Chains A and B, each alone.
Chain A
């Protein structure tokens, strides 16, 4: 986290137009501090790094509904999902999408959640939720968002295969930032049907997670939209120094 914070600060110093996004399954894991704080240290750190949005991933539900909702309330950035509803009200469990103004451009960010595992993770508590098909939800919501946005990004924790299907079957999406990655991402994948770009950063494993950050640079040219891009997958190695603010925060949590 401390090294990631350094990398993020570097990027923000180099460019005025930066969005920091997470595609989900990042609040909870097997590290002691994260478990002891029930994800609070992660949300606080993501607040400090200035995340702009995050998708809700199935793994985030391992916190349980009550704790997860507490973490969502503590986040100073929207945690998004358009296909998870509260069963009683049929209202979205979290914000479905946001539209941000960046450099004069309207950037819509839509969240999608992998729902297949949620019932297994939550057990009977899953009855409090209504889980919708993500592709159908995307089809409907993208159609609503297109007139309102210059760039449409989907933050999607659906997995590589479903994300590619999403890119091929739902027109209007410019970029999918994906989670639940199947193959080590060497380069962006582009839909031959709709031209949608899919970018992914990391396949985590026990002992190795949170060390990759994707850097996608989009050339936006007014009415012409996206005219070009570059992408690299950056490994946060020890070459990056620890950000002092983040180090201090983690130290505080460690000693509590």
Chain B
């Protein structure tokens, strides 16, 4: 084979290999693991302190009172009658 022809073939092969290498490198780059995220210590915002709600005033349980009789007088539906009829 003439020497020029041999050089030509060598050049083509080398170029092809070079292209292959470049392609592989690009492929590797695109599938590379994502860059590790930076971990930062977040600053926790101070909780919003709600306005203090007034504590309902519930009377404390009294000491047991003495026994009593509670009389409940009850009426209903008297219709505003002020005079008896009949």
Q: Do A and B interact? A: yes
| Chain A residues at the B interface, C-beta cutoff of 8 Å | 1, 3-4, 7-8, 11, 15, 17-31, 33-34, 39, 41-42, 45, 57, 59, 102-107, 147-148, 150-151, 153, 157, 175, 177-181, 199-204, 207-223, 236, 238, 250
Known: A103-B65, A212-B75, A223-B64. A31 touches B84 (CB 8 A): no
Which chain A residues border B75 with CB–CB below 8 Å? 4, 21-23, 26, 201-202, 210, 212-214
Known: A28-B80, A34-B80, A209-B79. A104 touches B73 (CB 8 A): no
B77 at the A/B interface (Cβ < 8 Å)? Answer: yes
A105 to B68, Cβ gap below 8 A? yes
Which chain A residues border B85 with CB–CB below 8 Å? 207-208
9 nearest CB pairs, A to B: A222-B64, A29-B79, A104-B65, A210-B78, A179-B76, A34-B80, A210-B81, A23-B76, A29-B80
A21 to B74, Cβ gap below 8 A? yes
B66 to A104, Cβ gap below 8 A? yes
**Cα distance A147–B62 in the bound complex, in angstroms:** 11
Looking across the interface, which residue of chain A has its beta carbon closest to that of B82? Answer: A1
- Of the listed residues B58, B66, B80, the one surrounded by the most CB atoms of chain A closer than 10 A to its CB is B80
A19 to B72, Cβ gap below 8 A? yes
Q: List 6 A-B contacts (CB under 8 A).
A: A7-B73, A25-B76, A26-B77, A202-B78, A209-B79, A221-B67
Which chain A residues border B73 with CB–CB below 8 Å? 7-8, 11, 18-21, 213-215
- Of the listed residues B59, B72, B79, B81, the one surrounded by the most CB atoms of chain A closer than 10 A to its CB is B72
**Cα distance A41–B83 in the bound complex, in angstroms:** 12
B86 at the A/B interface (Cβ < 8 Å)? Answer: yes
Which chain B residues border A221 with CB–CB below 8 Å? 67
Cβ-defined partner of B74 (8 Å) among A103, A148, A213: A213
B7 at the A/B interface (Cβ < 8 Å)? Answer: no
B76 to A103, Cβ gap below 8 A? no
B71 at the A/B interface (Cβ < 8 Å)? Answer: yes
B67 to A24, Cβ gap below 8 A? no
Cβ-defined partner of A148 (8 Å) among B58, B64, B79, B82: B58
**Shortest CB–CB separation between residue B62 and chain A, in angstroms?**
7
Of residues 35 to 86 in B, which have CB atoms within 8 Å of A's CB atoms?
A: 58-59, 62, 64-86
**Shortest CB–CB separation between residue A20 and chain B, in angstroms?**
5
Cβ-defined partner of B81 (8 Å) among A20, A29, A106: A29
Looking across the interface, which residue of chain A has its beta carbon closest to that of B72? Answer: A216
A178 to B80, Cβ gap below 8 A? no
A219 to B67, Cβ gap below 8 A? yes
A218 to B77, Cβ gap below 8 A? no
B69 to A15, Cβ gap below 8 A? yes
**Cα distance A153–B62 in the bound complex, in angstroms:** 19
